[in-house]
Each structure stands twice: as structure tokens, then as C-alpha cells.
Amino acid sequence: MTQYGKKILYLAAAILLSLPVVSCRSTKSNTHTYRPYSERRNRGTAPSDNHPGSNNDNGKKPIPGGNGLVSDEWARLDVKLGRHDNKKLYKELKKWLGTPYAYAAHTCGEGTDCSGMVMEVYQEVYGIKVHRNSAKMLEENCRIIDLDDLKEGDLVFFITSGDGHVSHVGIYLKDNKFVHASSSRGVCVDDLRQNYYATHFHAAGRVTKR
């Protein structure tokens, strides 16, 4: 082999040795990491806040603040219920609609916060006593479920503050709708695909008797 040929081989070897080594080992972690609702379940694209007039699910005119996803029927809970729907739950929640937000309160028609409303509804409808705090509800009253397993009466939890802790809870109904006590609008119906809730969604939980 000529001197020139040897230089070419040495140069090729040097290039190969400088390439990064790619590991074939699995990088899958055993720990579960929560991600925003919009990234975890393909239930439709969450609309942008810049487009509040987007079409909703059934072509009805959206209510103010509904971000184009909550129809008048859902806002009033005047929805057609099937034989498998829990009519007692809908009837009870309808009583709470419009109750103004009041921190640390839990009185229907007068004032309530999110966990107070959930606590009272669960006691009335299911005869189950849950914690007065949303974070403790998730930790001690619920088992975490997959989004695809969400059913009527399950709880949905959100992180709305900057400290990384659960700070908001609502009661899931169906068709992505849930009832909660909004700090700005009181007890109302919203859609999990709305931009704010999709971004701040943390986990879904099913209440277990303890």
C-alpha cells in the first residue's frame, strides 16, 4: 500500500472514531410523568384563546367564555340524558350552577369554592365523604385513571398555580364536559379541550370508598 493510501485509511478511521456512540438501551422510565391534557389524549384540538368564536361540537352558539366549545344546552345542563346517565348527579349539579365563587365556602346558591362544591355533591349523590382539599382528594380519596377511562362522576384535577401542586378540581360528566367552581364565573360547565384547562390539566381520578 502506498504512503498516500495509508493516510486515507488513517483519516477514515479518525472520522469513524469521532462519531457519537448511540446506545441501544431503552430510555423508557418506570415513573409516570403527567403531561397537559392536550398532549395526553387525542380528543380534538384545543382552540387558541385568540379564536373564541370557533365552532363548538354541535354548531350551537357558544356561551361567553366557553371558547367555542360549550353550548347553551350544556351551560344550563339541559342536555338529553340516556338511561345509563346518573340523573341524580345532573339534577344536583344543576342546583349548583350559577352559585358564585367564595373561598372556603360550600353552600349551594350562596357561595362555594371548587373542593367545597365537589365535597357537597359527592355526599348528596353518592353518600361518600371526600376531603375538603383538592390535592388531598387526589391523594387520599381517588385512584388515578387513564383519560380514556373517564366516566360520569369521576374527578378531574388541575394545577393552576405556580407551585406545582394540585389546586383545582371538577366533576366530569361526558363528552369532555365537567362542572366546577370557577373563581371568575362561579359554578359552571366547561370543556376539557378548552385551551386553559387542556394546558393545566394534571390527572383524572375515580373516587374510592375509604
- pLDDT, one tens digit per residue, over 86-95 is 999 999 999 9
In the residue annotation, 180 being an active-site residue is answered as yes
106 annotated active-site: no
φ, ψ at 44 (rounded to 5°) = 115, 160
Q: Is it the case that residue 166 has pLDDT exceeding 90?
A: yes
* CATH classification of the domain holding 80: 3.90.1720.10
Confirm if 168 and 125 have CB atoms less than 8 A apart.
Answer: no
Spatial distance between the Cα atoms of 167 and 41, rounded to a whole number of angstroms? 22
Residue range 189-210, pLDDT digits in tens: 999 999 999 999 999 999 997 6
Mean pLDDT of 71-81: 96
Residue 13 lies in a domain: no
Among the options 108, 180, 188, 202, which is catalytic? 180
For 18-63, write each residue's pLDDT tens digit: 444 333 333 333 333 345 555 655 444 333 332 222 333 334 343 4
Q: What is the total count of domains within the chain? A: 1
28 belongs to a structural domain: no
Q: Report yes or no on 82 lying in a domain.
A: yes
188: DSSP letter: E
Residue 141: inside a domain, yes or no?
A: yes
pTM above 0.75, yes or no: no
C-alpha cell at 18: 469521532
> Of 106, 108, 142, 168, which residue is the catalytic one?
168
Residue 4 lies in a domain: no
Residue 1 falls inside a structural domain: no
Catalytic choice (114, 142, 188, 202): 114
Spatial separation of the C-alpha atoms in residues 4 and 127, rounded to whole Å? 88
